[in-house]
Structure 1
Amino acid sequence: MELPKHVERILTTLESAGREAWCVGGCVRDALLGRTPEDWDITTSALPEETLSLFGPRAEPTGLRHGTVTVKTEAGPVEVTTYRIDGTYRDRRRPESVAFTRSVDEDLARRDFTVNAIARNLRGELRDPFGGREDLRGGILRCVGDPDRRFQEDALRILRGLRFAAALGFSIAPETAEALRRNRAGLGDIAAERIQTEFFKLLPGDHAAEILRDYPEVFGVFWPELLAMVGFDQRNRHHCYDVWEHTLHALDAVPGDVVLRCAMLLHDVGKPACFTLDEAGVGHFYGHPAVSRELADGMLRRLKCGTDFRETVVRLVEWHDRDIPRTDKSIRRALRILGEEDLRRLILIKRADNLGQSPAFWDRQGELDKAEAILDRLLEEDACFSLKQLAVKGGDLLALGLSGPAVGAALEALLSKVIDGALPNRREALLAHLQETGGTGQKEESE
């Protein structure tokens, strides 16, 4: 693997001062896998004060207590951390103290997984005391040393491990998997924001459905609502899977986008609470989209998700089972409420939801093709579905003598008429209608 020039220069500076320096962690792992590293981390025998002195004004003391100095480069910041041995972890996040060491092997011994405990120096030499390269070749995720200790030091490593497996398609070594399950309760001590970050990196992974299937009890620590879906028989001919398996098949059928994957994971979370059996023994889930929406909203709030993200996901959950007739009027109405991006997302979700059902009912894909074709045509024709596209503006209504809330109400009424096809989106036609209706945009019904 070839090192970027800005990384080479940092390594060269440290070695020229008589210190050891290695690239370490995820950047080495990704490079060995033929992937482009997102960022580069360096570990060195130089003490933090030495690193600060060597790089002068380009160096910032971003974590001196733990030996970390950030070096600013033209390609972005690079963290340079002194070899260290971690002390006791009491908050399941960071060690209370660290001891600096002159041994790169001792530094590698504190890391989470063998594939992240490989170092590479300026000359391309690899330091791999724990068999990380062999695990990379075998596609195995294994803790460095005692897995129970690793997960008890920082329980977030449980989700990090599952995230790596979801992204890379690695299997988890049996002893690591057992310890991961055994220590899962520790996630209850982790800040919601840290869980959100790792979990939302996991969901887009190509193998996310497999990991969710194998470890539901882990995710149930912070989202216990998921566990009610596991093994829940739907008792309905439309479904060949239980609620959890249906969810995972549907999740696997949408692109690896975190909004889509999150909406797909939560779209049926309300089903167990809505289950009823009719006289023929057939299962029904009346009202489950609304219940799923409320549960999803609470779950996303607990993970401290941003408002825009949360509202988008819960809107898609609420709409996932709503029928949108394949007509211009209905698609324009959906565009008005959802906008193009979310309507396209909804179509993807409906496709995946259908593909998670019994194959005999996959013919719904054809109806979704029709909806998508109408959407494409309307957008190509620049069909009006929002106020900014309307041929009249607020100033036009003010000129007619309207003011205050009446302006907004009249614009909304006109837009509704245009969307329904009752009026063309032409300025003269809209103004004529306003004059005819006395400026309200709505005709009074005769008594």
Structure 2
Amino acid sequence: MIITLPEKVNYIIEELMSHGFEGYAVGGCVRDSLLGRIPGDWDITTSANPYEVKQIFPRTIDTGIKHGTVTVMLGKEGFEVTTYRLDGEYEDNRHPKQVEYTKNLVEDLKRRDFTINAMAYNAKDGLVDEFDGLKDLQENRIRCVGSADQRFEEDALRILRAVRFSAQLNFTIEEETLAAIRIKALNLRNISAERIREELNKLLLSNHPEKIMIAYETGLTKVILPEFDQMLVTSLQSPYQQPNVAEYTLEVLRYFVEKLSKNIEDKKQQLIYRWAILLHDVAKTEVKAADSHMKKHTMELNDKGAIMAKTILRRLKFDNETIESVTKLVSYHNFRFGSSKEDIRRATNLIGEKYMPMLFVIRECAIEGMNSKVKEEMVKILNQAKKLYYEIIEDGECVSLKMLAVNGKDLIEQGFESGKNIGLLLQQLLEMVIVDPTLNTKEQLLRIAKNQL
């Protein structure tokens, strides 16, 4: 089994070995290489202690020297080099009280989470695979190194990592490992929201986000995303194809992943879309339909959905931009577009130019889960709205105050008194321009302001 190591990784390993130490690429980079994937980064493990590593290489950074890790800098690239170690007793289901260095590679590999992450490689010795990680890779299996109970008791985040790897690699979780996940699920309460968020993000960004069902079946979502459990017991009626909110949501997410996600290169945008889709109908768990007051029901669903989405994302410690974007899309996900350009200009002014194209994507995905009778008409309405929107944008028609041909300074220079009335006046002018875009010239708007307002 031959892995082609990057030149700089091979150089670090050879330098370690030339000084009498062992050195190997280890963990995820070995796993990904064996799968034919391009590793995101390369980790190196060695029998040299951190201070010996620092003596060998001229430029290093003490990134985690307390736990045996230094970063070796080669040019502008950094490579983490970690000493073989034994973990002491874990005190919080996450961190060992202390670490102890060892000269034995297998002892270091023994403390790792899953067999597919417990392989090491260098060009001299080839693949070191004491726990049959290669076999598990070949058989598409996630299995803990040694006792699954012990691995999850040591670090509860591994519980969620198992599900995440299952989604990223489309692997099954081995039975003993799965049983231990069920037993240890409540230990996730000891893991920080930030760590939970990052694992959920990676799961959602995978090609198989539907694997979140494993998290539900093993009791993880009850701890980290209880709203999803409620979605599974909230039934749906016509015009939906699926029996409950969660199954419908996962069908919508599947459509996005398979049909639309390839066009979105930015990772943050991908996350915004995927979280918006996951949460777009979360309020259906609390807001029941009232056939005689459908408009009121829709407004309540929008408002409640936005509140619930914001609550979930804040709980998971997301950044403000992501919270704002997801909340906005959830709030307007079932917005009813009109059929005229004026309708679309009003919608754009209300929702925002930034969000209109994103909303079209969310709507397209949501419609996919409807039955064929309503789907055709809804697709027709959506396509018409998109056509009109892009015509408006191409023609540069005014849809916001920033696009208005006059501003507050212009009005003050014409003798209008500064203050809140200026803002009201600009809103009135914008309203006129939304109705008739041809009015959006400085000359006409100033004349209207003087003569009529």
Alignment partner of 2:388 out of 374, 392, 406: 374
Deviation at 1:155, TM superposition (A): 1.0
Whole-Å Cα distance in 2 between the matches of residues 392 and 213 of structure 1? 53
In the TM superposition, what are the counterparts of 1:386-425 in structure 2 within 5 Å?
A: 386-402=400-416, 403-421=418-436, 424-425=439-440
AA aligned opposite 2:412: L
Whole-Å Cα distance in 2 between the matches of residues 110 and 264 of structure 1? 37
1:253 — aligned with what? 255
Q: Which digits, 9 at most, give the CA deviation of each residue in 1:390-431, with x for residues without a partner?
A: 222333222112323333333332222212226522221111
Whole-Å Cα distance in 2 between the matches of residues 69 and 169 of structure 1? 33
2:198 — aligned with what? 197
Work out whether residues 234 and 284 of structure 2, in 8 Å CA contact, stay in contact via their aligned partners in 1. Answer: no
Work out whether residues 22 and 47 of structure 2, in 8 Å CA contact, stay in contact via their aligned partners in 1. Answer: yes
**Number of matched pairs:** 432
SS of aligned partner of 2:370: coil
Whole-Å Cα distance in 1 between the matches of residues 414 and 125 of structure 2? 76
Whole-Å Cα distance in 2 between the matches of residues 404 and 99 of structure 1? 68
Deviation at 1:123, TM superposition (A): 4.1
Deviates most, 24-33 or 412-421? 412-421
Whole-Å Cα distance in 2 between the matches of residues 167 and 434 of structure 1? 59
AA aligned opposite 2:424: A
SS of aligned partner of 2:80: strand
Q: Which digits, 9 at most, give the CA deviation of each residue in 1:151-181, with x for residues without a partner?
A: 1111111221211111221111122122112
2:266 — aligned with what? none
Whole-Å Cα distance in 2 between the matches of residues 269 and 395 of structure 1? 44
Whole-Å Cα distance in 2 between the matches of residues 339 and 329 of structure 1? 15
1:161 — aligned with what? 162
Establish whether residue 357 from structure 1 lines up as the match of residue 358 from structure 2. no
SS of aligned partner of 1:332: helix
Whole-Å Cα distance in 1 between the matches of residues 6 and 375 of structure 2? 49
AA aligned opposite 1:8: N
**Cα distance change of structure 1 residues 286 and 390 upon mapping to structure 2, 3 Å threshold:** closer
Q: Which digits, 9 at most, give the CA deviation of each residue in 1:300-344, with x for residues without a partner?
A: 111111111111111111111221213212222232233333211
Whole-Å Cα distance in 1 between the matches of residues 306 and 161 of structure 2? 28
1:270 — aligned with what? 283
1:442 — aligned with what? none
Work out whether residues 337 and 381 of structure 2, in 8 Å CA contact, stay in contact via their aligned partners in 1. Answer: no
2:222 — aligned with what? 220
1:67 — aligned with what? 68
Q: Which digits, 9 at most, give the CA deviation of each residue in 1:81-133, with x for residues without a partner?
A: 00011111112222111111111111111111111111111447111111111
SS of aligned partner of 1:186: helix
Work out whether residues 398 and 437 of structure 2, in 8 Å CA contact, stay in contact via their aligned partners in 1. Answer: no
1:8 — aligned with what? 10
AA aligned opposite 2:244: D
1:433 — aligned with what? 448
**Cα distance change of structure 1 residues 107 and 326 upon mapping to structure 2, 3 Å threshold:** farther
Deviates most, 382-391 or 160-169? 382-391
SS of aligned partner of 2:421: helix
Considering fraction of residues, name the structure with more helix: 2
Whole-Å Cα distance in 1 between the matches of residues 225 and 242 of structure 2? 25
Q: Which digits, 9 at most, give the CA deviation of each residue in 1:182-220, with x for residues without a partner?
A: 2111111111111111111211211011x1223323122
Unaligned runs of 5+ in 2: 262-269
**Cα distance change of structure 1 residues 6 and 377 upon mapping to structure 2, 3 Å threshold:** same
Whole-Å Cα distance in 1 between the matches of residues 241 and 290 of structure 2? 15
Work out whether residues 337 and 382 of structure 2, in 8 Å CA contact, stay in contact via their aligned partners in 1. Answer: no
Whole-Å Cα distance in 2 between the matches of residues 161 and 9 of structure 1? 32
Identity %: 40
Whole-Å Cα distance in 2 between the matches of residues 268 and 278 of structure 1? 18
Establish whether residue 347 from structure 1 lines up as the match of residue 360 from structure 2. yes
Q: Alpha carbon RMSD of aligned pairs, Å?
A: 2.0
Q: TM-score, normalised by structure 2?
A: 0.90
In the TM superposition, what are the counterparts of 1:298-377 in structure 2 within 5 Å?
A: 298-363=311-376, 364-377=378-391
**Cα distance change of structure 1 residues 294 and 79 upon mapping to structure 2, 3 Å threshold:** same
Whole-Å Cα distance in 1 between the matches of residues 106 and 431 of structure 2? 69
